[in-house]
Amino acid sequence: MIEPRIDILMSVYNGEKFLADQLESLVRQTHQNWRLLVRNDNSTDSSVRILHEYCIRYPKKIVLVSDDCMQLGACQGFAKVLQHSSAEYIMFCDQDDVWLPTKVEASLNELMRLEIKNPGMPILVYTDLTVVDEKLRVLAESLWQYQRIDPRNNSLNALLLENVATGCTMIFNRKLKEQAEPLPSEAVMHDWWLALVGSVYGRLSFLSGKTVLYRQHGRNDVGAQERSFKSRLCKFMKSPNASFVRSTRSAARVRAQCRALLAHVQCRTVPDPTLMIPLQRYVDSTNTLVRKWCLIRHKMLTGDYIQASKKLFYF
C-alpha cells in the first residue's frame, strides 16, 4: 500500500543554530512519503548553505522554493510557500523545533480517520507540545497545561480571540487549503487563519499526545509564555502603560482579522450562515463595552467568571 504524500512547509529566517536538528528530525520520521518545501525569508546567516547541503543529500525530499519576494515574516512567509503545495495533506514546520519520530504518522492517521467519517470536508488536526530550552531540556511537559490552553475550545466563537491550534503541530487536508487561500494581509498568523477557516467550513480535532519539542531560545516569533493570572498581573504592575498599548494593538489586529474573515466568507458558501452572526456583531461594534458584552453574549469567552476575566485582559 502506497503511503499518502505529505507536503511539509517551512519558512526559514536566520535559523542556522537549530536548522540542522530540525531537518534531521524530519529524516527520522516513521512516515517517509513526505516532501519538504522550504523558503528562505532573506536570511543573512548560513541558513541557505545548510539548506543547499540537505537538498544535495536528499534531492527527492527537500525542495528550496524561490520567489521574487524579500523578507515577509512568519505569517506571509508560510502563506507564500503554501502556494507551492500540491499534496493532499499539508503540515507546517518551524526551523528551530524537533519533531518526535511518529509525529507525521500519528497526525496523518487521525486526519484520515476523520476524513472517513466526514467525506469531502476540510479537516485540521493539531496536538500538544513539550516545551524545551536551547539544549532540549524539558521546561514544561505540556504547552497546553503551561499556557492554560483548553484544546477543546476550537469553535469559531472561541477561536476569534484565542488560537488553540499551534501551527507546527498542524496537519490539514487540501480541501482546507483551498478554502483558506489566499491568506489576507490582516491575518495575525498563518496557523490562526487556517484554524478560523477550518472552524467555519469543516472540522477541527486534536490529539492529546505531544509530537514536537518546542524549543525556546529567546528569538522565537511567538514562543511559549506562562499565562497564569499571577504572571499577567505582575507584568501589568511592572509596566501598566506598555501592557495597555500591547492589549490595544492586539485587539486591533484581531478585529482586522475578523473583518478579513467576514470578507473571505462572503465570497464563498457557508454551510451554516448563523455561524457568522456573532462575528458580524463583534466587528460592527464600535464601543469597547459593547464588544465585551458581545463576547460574553455569544460565548466567545468560555469557562467560569475567573477564566473569562483572564481572557479579557491581554497583559
**Degrees, nearest 5: CA angle 96-127-124:** 105
Task: Say which residues have a Cβ less than 8 Å from residue 187's Cβ, sequence separation at least 6.
Answer: 75, 79, 193, 257, 260
Radius of gyration of the CA atoms of the chain, in A: 19
Q: Which three cell numbers stand for residue 134?
A: 536551547
Cβ pair 34, 101 in contact under 8 A: no
User: 192 and 250 share a domain?
Assistant: no
Q: What is the pLDDT of residue 207?
A: 96
Taking 60 as the threshold, does the pLDDT of residue 305 lie above it?
no
- Residue 64 covered by a domain: yes
pLDDT digits (tens, 9 = 90+) for 173-185: 999 999 999 999 9
Let me know if residue 220 belongs to a domain. Answer: no
CATH code of the domain covering residue 94: 3.90.550.10
Please tell me the pTM assigned to this model: 0.84
- Whether residue 288 is found in the same domain as residue 208: no
In the predicted model, what is the mean pLDDT of the chain? 85
1 lies in some domain? no
Whether 221 is covered by a domain: the verdict is no
Range of the domain at 280: 229-312
- Pair 206, 233 in one domain: no
User: Model confidence over 76-115: pLDDT tens digits?
Assistant: 999 999 999 999 999 999 999 999 999 999 999 999 999 9
Q: Same structural domain for residues 60 and 97?
A: yes
Task: Look at residues 230, 242, 221, 106 and name the one whose alpha carbon lies nearest to residue 166.
Answer: 221
Task: Look at residue 249 in the predicted model and tell me its pLDDT.
Answer: 67
In this prediction, residue 313 has a pLDDT band, given cuts at 50, 70 and 90, of: very low
Q: What is the pLDDT of residue 274?
A: 75
- Does 181 lie in the same domain as 37? yes
**Structure confidence by residue, pLDDT tens digits, 115-154:** 999 999 999 999 999 999 999 999 999 999 999 999 999 9
b/e map of 40-57 (b: 16 or more CB within 10 Å)? bbebeeebeebbeebeee
